[in-house]
Amino acid sequence: EHDKAEFNVIGMTCAACANRVEKKLNKLPGVSEASVNLAMETAAVEYNPNSVSTNDMTEAIDKIGYELQEKA
Where does this chain bind ligand 9UX (CB under 6 A)?
Answer: 13-14, 16-17
CA distance 30 to 33: 9
For residue 44, the minimal CB distance to ligand 9UX (Å) is 20
| Nearest distance from C-beta of residue 42 to ligand 9UX, angstroms | 16
Cα 33 from chain centroid (whole Å): 10
Nearer to ligand 9UX, 38 or 53 (CB): 38
Q: How far is the CB of 24 from ligand 9UX (least distance, A)?
A: 12
- E strand or H helix at 67: strand 67-70
Q: How many other β-carbons are positioned within 10 Å of the β-carbon of residue 64?
A: 12
